[in-house]
Amino acid sequence: MRAFFAAIQELNAQGRLLSYHDRSDGGLFVTLAEMAFAGHCGIDINLDMLAAGQDEIAAALFAEELGAVIQVRREHTAEVLTELNAAGLGDLVSVIGTINEDDSVNLYFDEEEIFSESRSLLQSYWAETSYQLQSMRDNPECAQQEFEQIQDRNDPGLHVALSYAVNEDVAAPYIASGMRPQVAVLREQGVNGQVEMAAAFDRAGFTAVDVHMSDILSGRVSLDVFQGLVACGGFSYGDVLGAGEGWAKSVLFNSRARDEFAAFFARQSSFALGVCNGCQMMSNLHELIPGAERWPHFVRNSSEQFEARQAMVEVQQTPSIFLQGMAGSRMPIAIAHGEGRAEFSDADHLQRLQQSSDIALRYVDNYGKVTERYPANPNGSPAGIAGITTPDGRVTIMMPHPERMFRAVQHSWSPEDWSEDGSWMRMFRNARAWLK
């Protein structure tokens, strides 16, 4: 076991492992099926090395003994086998198969096909119980939409299509000047996204200052000294009962705080960003924000559940200072909210917003089409609305978390040409470039 662990760690460090799954509940067959489900692809498996005869096939497929399946590139097979053999594991290792383009799970023994079924059908069987429970517990329409997605054999999955160079640092000339404008990283009780947010702004050339609402309410800190303000996400007030709205009320019903925020938003040289709970909060401050009259409230997700996942969004053509040069780009972004569905006071507000250029981000499906279907649209927002800006672009709010994906290593997958920066780093650098 010690040798196996060490060998796997070494192969992983060398970049030789494409995927890994331990053999446990259900045995080898379930392990392989789950890998096919996750990879959205078919597999051809040869059992000749695992069973001496027909009577041993069931044991080979369903024994729940210790073991693992690893996937490697064909050209690395000999090298990986040599590494495992050197670790004293050679007698325990077998090459058993490859992926296929038929999206089917095929098992062979002694040159005979003994099982063949489509991957999507097997995955539907596998997901059936969860789907039925989800239908009873959550919104049954959302449950059905997610279950039906399994049958889409051509789904390309999450992808990146950028209209800009991810490694270009548009803030570099301004950082080189040595000037680091101050941005207030605002938080409230329960907020937990302030560290990542501060790190993103710091990397973009700002001096990020931690500011708690109590600092403003007490008068210890004034927003006059800041050129930027960001309201962070997390779990303000436990993320229940319109948490962001309660946060906003602490501003609206306190004369000192109200005057501070009103003056900040009115200042033409200032900018503001609201993310997740901060998006909720700022949407409820619309009466203080010039041009925010048509902004929606953000209410409980249509799925009736807290959503924590990655979703695809497309950057729209807007005046947002954060999204300049990014229009048309599609990429994954982190989602973590229970109340992210945009709700408008009347249909006219939604229609007028759609006719404007103020919708900053929209949820799209894996084909790049704006969607209201779950789970590509994780909260059911109309017209796929994920973010909004003001007509002058100085204030932008969004439910997704760009600060959780500003580095390449924060992505579960990223293109090979990415180095340090993730696709969302550009957003923070745009803010620095706007200040000049």
Active site residues per annotation = 276, 401, 403
Query: How many CB atoms are closer than 10 A to CB 37?
Result: 17
Q: Find the helix or strand (DSSP H, E) in which 279 lies.
A: helix 277-283
Cα(255)–Cα(395) distance, integer angstroms: 22
Whether the CA torsion 236, 239, 244, 245 is positive or negative: it is negative
What are the distances in angstroms from CA 271 to CA 155, 171, 199, 234, 303? 38, 16, 18, 21, 33
Give the pairing of strands 359-363 and 297-299. Answer: unpaired
Cα(81)–Cα(90) distance, integer angstroms: 7
Q: Determine the angle formed by the axes of helices 194-203 and 425-435, rounding to 10 degrees.
A: 60
Helix (H, G, I), strand (E, B) or coil at 355: helix
What are the distances in angstroms from CA 325 to CA 163, 164, 212, 407? 7, 7, 32, 19
Chain position carrying tokens 């249909």 = 347
